[in-house]
Homo-oligomer: A and B are copies of this chain.
Amino acid sequence: MPRRPDFSAVGHSQPRLDGTDKVTGRSLFTDDVVLPGMLCGRVLRCPLPRARLLNIDTSRAEALPGVKAVVTAQDAAGIWLGINQPLLSPEILNHVGQEVAAVAATDEDTAREALKLIRVDYEPLPELKDMKAALAPGAPLLHAKAKGNIAWEQADDHGDPDAAFAAAHHVRTDHYVTNPTHNCYAEFHVAVADFTRSDKLTVWTPTQSALLFQKSLAAGFKLPDSGVRIMCLNSGGGFTGRTATRPHHFLAALLSRKSGRPVKIRATGDEEFIMCRAGGRVEYRFRSGVDRDGRLKVVDADLLFDTGGYVESQMIVILLTSSYLDALYPVEATRYRGRLVHTNNLPYYFHHGGGLAQFQFAFGQHVNSLALDLGMDPVDFHLLNAVEKGHTTLRGTHYASCGLKECIRKTARQAGWKQKRRRKEPLKGIGIGIGAMASGAKGLFKHDTSAAFIKVGDDGKATLFVGLPDMGQSSHTAMAIIAAEVLGIAPTDITVASGDTDLDPLDVGAFTQRGTFNTGNAVKNASLDARKQIAKTAAAELGVRPSQLKFSHGQITVKNQPDKVMPFAKAVFNTLHSQEGRFVMGRGFYNSPLESGSMAYSFGAQIAEVSVDPDTGVVTVEKVTAAHDVGRAINPRIVEGQIDGQIFSGMSQALFEECVMDDGQVLNPSRLDYKMPRAWEMPEVEHIIVESVDPHGPFGAKEVGEGPIVCTMQAIANAVADAIGEPVTEMPIAPWRVLKILGRRKDVA
C-alpha cells in the first residue's frame, strides 16, 4: 500500500481501538449483563416439521417454585414476525424448533425443569420436505396466501432477451445448487429484555441494526419507537444473521412484561442452529448468450429459494440476485425469475453477502464455462466484458468509480495467471472470480440516513457518537480515523460511543455495506462542523482566516506560513476557557440523494489456487490473490483483515459448510459436527488494494464488508474445476462430491 503523505490518519494502518479489550477479554457482551432480579428464560420448541397444536397445559410448570412467568400463544396474540409468522402460533406449526411456549424462572435448572412440565399435544401433519415436494401438484399449502407454496415471485425482462438470444453466437445453460449454512458468528443469540415501565422496553442484544430491532419490537408491542431501547454492548459477529429480530427477543420481552423482572434468553448450541436463519438451499438455472467476439450479451436466470416454513425479508435476496445479472458486464438484455418456496424446513434468510456470494458461486462458474466454451482465457473474457467507470446498467445503476478491470489485471499479473495456466500440473487448479458490491442501498425507508455527533473535550480528545454497530468489522475504528483525519488528530484520541438507541444518532444499520460510505460521510460532516468551531479560535489567535488553516498531526498550521502553528488541544482548550466558553460539539448526517440503490460500488477480483487429494477428495486452497477496489482504504490493515475474513468464510462455505437437513431436522447442530476450517487451514493471501477514489465516498472510500466474499467461492470452484476437469455444481464442494467426479474422470487424477 502506498502511504499518502497528504493524510495524517486515513490510509495509515490503525489497530482496532477495541482490540486490546477484545483480546484481553475485557469487552462486555450481552451475556455479561446481570440485572437485579434477572430471570432465566427458556423456550419450548416444536419437535415436528409440521403439526397442529391440539392442547397445551402449562399449569404444572406455573406451579413449580421459582417459575415467575410462562407465556403461550395467547400472550403473544397480535405479534407477527415478518410476513406470515405469528410469534407463537396458536394452531399450525411449520418447522422443527418453532417456538411453542417460553418460561422465566429464577435459575436455569428451574427453567429447564419447567419446560419438561409443560404438556403439549400435537397432531402431526403431512410435511413439505423440500422444494420439489412443495411445488408438486396437490402439495399441501402451508400458507393460504402463498399460492402453490410460492411465497414471493419476481419475474422481469430488461432489454429484449428473446432477440438477444436469437442473435447470440453461442448459448449455454447450467444448473447449480447451494445448500443451507449457518452464519457462524462467534456469539450465540442472546437477549436480555426489561420492561422497566409498561411503555418502556429495554433490550440488550447483539445487533447489526438497532434501528430495525427498535422498530420491530415497537411494532410488536404497540409502542412508539422511542418506547423501545436497544442496547448493544458488543456483537460477536453478524454476517447478516443479526439484521432482524428473532422470536427470542419478543419472548424475553413478553416474559419480562408478565413477570415484572428482567429476563435473559441465551441460545444453547443446538438451538443456535435452529435460530440462525442464514442462507437456505438455492437452485439456479442460468442460460446466457455471447457474441462471436466473446461479448456477453444476454443472461437468463431462474432461481428457486427454499424459504422454509415462513417468510420474513427473504425477498431481498431476489432483489439482490436479479440486480446482479447486469452488474458486472454491460449485457444487452436480462431475464430473471426468482421464487421463494415454502417448505417445512427452517425459515432461512440469507448469509454474509445477502445471497450474492452463493449466487456468484453459480454465476461465476457459468460465466467461466462460457469462456472455456469459446476457448477463451477466463481472465481475457472478464477483461473484455467487465464494466468500467461511467457505465450505467440496464437497471439504471451508475458507476461513478470503478476499478474492476484494474483489479482483474493486477490480480492476474500478481498471481502469475498466464504462466500457471500454461504449465498445468495434475490435480492443481487455478480459478478467478469477480464481483461488485453496493456501498449502502436505499430502499428500506425513504431515507438511508446515518447521523453522527462529536464532542471535543478540553484535553483535545473527542467522543464520536454513531448509531452504526460494529460487530467485528472494525467500523468504529474506521469512523474514528475519518473524524481524526478531519480534525488532524490521532484516531486513538477518539472514543467511539455507540450501542444505545436512546443515545445514538440515527443510523439505518450495519448491512448493505453502508457503514464506511454512509456513516463515514456523516462522521466527516459532523467533524467538519466541530472543526469550524475550533478553527474560529485558532484563526483569531494566529491572526489569519479560518480557510488558511490546516489540521494535521495534532497541530493547526497556516498554509504557506510555517512559523504560525498551534496545537489542536490548545485551540480546543482556548475555545472553552474563553469569554465565549464554547464547548465544541459537531453534528452531521448523510443521506443518499438517490431514490433507491447505491451511490457507489466496490469491485474485486480473486484468483484461487487449489490442489486436490485424489484419495480423499479433499480440496486444499493453496493461495488466494485478491485485488479489491475499495475506493480508498481508510484503514489498510483492516481492509486486508476484511478481505482475509471473507476469503476464510468463502473458502469455508465453498468447501465445508452445510446444515445437513432431513425431515426438517438439522442433523449436525453443533460447532463440532458443522464443519468449518481451523485457523491454520487459512490459505496464503496476497492483497492488492485498488483505490479508485469514489467522488461521493468519505475521502473516496467505498465498502469492503461483503465485496470480497462474493469473489471467493466462484474462484475456488473454478480452480477446482480446473484441477479435476469438470465443475462441481453443488456447494459445498465436499470431498464426496469431488470423489464422484474423480471416479468418472480418470484422466485428471
Interface positions of A (Cβ within 8 A of B): 20-21, 26, 28, 32, 34-36, 196-197, 224-226, 445-449, 451, 453, 455, 457-461, 463, 465, 493, 495, 497, 502-503, 505-506, 576-583, 585-587, 589-593
Q: Choose among B21, B196, B226, B593 the residue that contacts A579 (Cβ–Cβ < 8 A).
A: B593
Asked if A505 and B583 sit within 8 Å, CB to CB, the answer is yes
Chain B residues whose CB sits within 8 angstroms of the CB of A582 once the complex forms: 449, 589, 591
Chain B nearest CB from A467 CB (Å) reads 9
Asked if A445 and B577 sit within 8 Å, CB to CB, the answer is yes
Chain B nearest CB from A256 CB (Å) reads 12
Chain B nearest CB from A15 CB (Å) reads 13
Complex CA–CA separation, A447 to B592 (angstroms): 40
Chain B nearest CB from A462 CB (Å) reads 8
Q: Choose among B35, B445, B583 the residue that contacts A506 (Cβ–Cβ < 8 A).
A: B583
Asked if A581 and B503 sit within 8 Å, CB to CB, the answer is no
Q: Choose among B21, B197, B447 the residue that contacts A578 (Cβ–Cβ < 8 A).
A: B447
Asked if B581 and A459 sit within 8 Å, CB to CB, the answer is no
Asked if B196 and A21 sit within 8 Å, CB to CB, the answer is yes
Asked if A497 and B503 sit within 8 Å, CB to CB, the answer is yes
Determine which residue in A196, A581, A590 has the highest number of CB atoms from chain B within 10 A of its CB, and name it.
A581
Q: Choose among B34, B224, B579 the residue that contacts A34 (Cβ–Cβ < 8 A).
A: B34
Q: A32: nearest residue on chain B (CB-CB)?
A: B36
Q: Choose among B35, B225, B226, B449 the residue that contacts A581 (Cβ–Cβ < 8 A).
A: B449
Q: Which 6 A-B pairs have the closest CB atoms?
A: A581-B591, A447-B581, A226-B461, A451-B583, A446-B577, A585-B587
Asked if A465 and B503 sit within 8 Å, CB to CB, the answer is yes
Chain B residues whose CB sits within 8 angstroms of the CB of A196 once the complex forms: 21, 26
Complex CA–CA separation, A177 to B611 (angstroms): 94
Q: A530: nearest residue on chain B (CB-CB)?
A: B587
Q: Choose among B36, B495, B577 the residue that contacts A447 (Cβ–Cβ < 8 A).
A: B577
Chain B residues whose CB sits within 8 angstroms of the CB of A576 once the complex forms: 447, 449, 506
Asked if A455 and B506 sit within 8 Å, CB to CB, the answer is yes
A28-B35, A32-B35, A581-B589 given; name 10 further pairs at CB < 8 Å.
A226-B463, A445-B577, A446-B578, A447-B578, A449-B582, A451-B585, A453-B585, A463-B503, A506-B583, A581-B590
Complex CA–CA separation, A727 to B592 (angstroms): 76
Complex CA–CA separation, A587 to B461 (angstroms): 19
Chain B residues whose CB sits within 8 angstroms of the CB of A579 once the complex forms: 593
Chain B residues whose CB sits within 8 angstroms of the CB of A463 once the complex forms: 226, 502-503
Chain B residues whose CB sits within 8 angstroms of the CB of A578 once the complex forms: 446-447
Chain B nearest CB from A466 CB (Å) reads 12
Complex CA–CA separation, A555 to B5 (angstroms): 53
Chain B residues whose CB sits within 8 angstroms of the CB of A506 once the complex forms: 455, 457-458, 576, 583
Complex CA–CA separation, A578 to B224 (angstroms): 20
Q: A460: nearest residue on chain B (CB-CB)?
A: B224
Complex CA–CA separation, A455 to B592 (angstroms): 20
Q: A450: nearest residue on chain B (CB-CB)?
A: B583
Asked if B587 and A587 sit within 8 Å, CB to CB, the answer is yes
Asked if B449 and A583 sit within 8 Å, CB to CB, the answer is yes
Chain B residues whose CB sits within 8 angstroms of the CB of A592 once the complex forms: 581
Complex CA–CA separation, A582 to B452 (angstroms): 11
Complex CA–CA separation, A101 to B417 (angstroms): 70
Q: A21: nearest residue on chain B (CB-CB)?
A: B196
Complex CA–CA separation, A463 to B446 (angstroms): 23
Chain B residues whose CB sits within 8 angstroms of the CB of A32 once the complex forms: 35-36
Complex CA–CA separation, A590 to B583 (angstroms): 9
Q: A585: nearest residue on chain B (CB-CB)?
A: B587
Complex CA–CA separation, A451 to B497 (angstroms): 18
Q: A592: nearest residue on chain B (CB-CB)?
A: B581
Asked if B225 and A461 sit within 8 Å, CB to CB, the answer is yes
Complex CA–CA separation, A453 to B502 (angstroms): 13
Chain B residues whose CB sits within 8 angstroms of the CB of A34 once the complex forms: 34
Complex CA–CA separation, A448 to B692 (angstroms): 48
Given contacts A34-B34, A225-B459, A578-B447, contact A20 B197 (CB under 8 A): yes
Chain B residues whose CB sits within 8 angstroms of the CB of A459 once the complex forms: 224-226
Chain B residues whose CB sits within 8 angstroms of the CB of A446 once the complex forms: 577-578, 581
Chain B nearest CB from A194 CB (Å) reads 9
Chain B residues whose CB sits within 8 angstroms of the CB of A447 once the complex forms: 576-578, 581
Chain B residues whose CB sits within 8 angstroms of the CB of A585 once the complex forms: 451, 453, 505, 587, 589
Q: A458: nearest residue on chain B (CB-CB)?
A: B225
Q: A463: nearest residue on chain B (CB-CB)?
A: B502
Chain B residues whose CB sits within 8 angstroms of the CB of A451 once the complex forms: 455, 583, 585
Complex CA–CA separation, A493 to B224 (angstroms): 10
Complex CA–CA separation, A506 to B585 (angstroms): 10
Complex CA–CA separation, A319 to B352 (angstroms): 65
Determine which residue in A451, A495, A506 has the highest number of CB atoms from chain B within 10 A of its CB, and name it.
A506
Chain B residues whose CB sits within 8 angstroms of the CB of A589 once the complex forms: 581-583, 585
Complex CA–CA separation, A28 to B581 (angstroms): 33
Q: A196: nearest residue on chain B (CB-CB)?
A: B26
Chain B nearest CB from A595 CB (Å) reads 9
Given contacts A226-B457, A502-B463, A506-B457, contact A448 B581 (CB under 8 A): yes
Q: Choose among B224, B455, B460, B505 the residue that contacts A461 (Cβ–Cβ < 8 A).
A: B224
Q: Choose among B449, B461, B503, B586 the residue that contacts A503 (Cβ–Cβ < 8 A).
A: B503
Chain B nearest CB from A217 CB (Å) reads 13
Q: A31: nearest residue on chain B (CB-CB)?
A: B36
Chain B nearest CB from A170 CB (Å) reads 46
Complex CA–CA separation, A451 to B454 (angstroms): 13
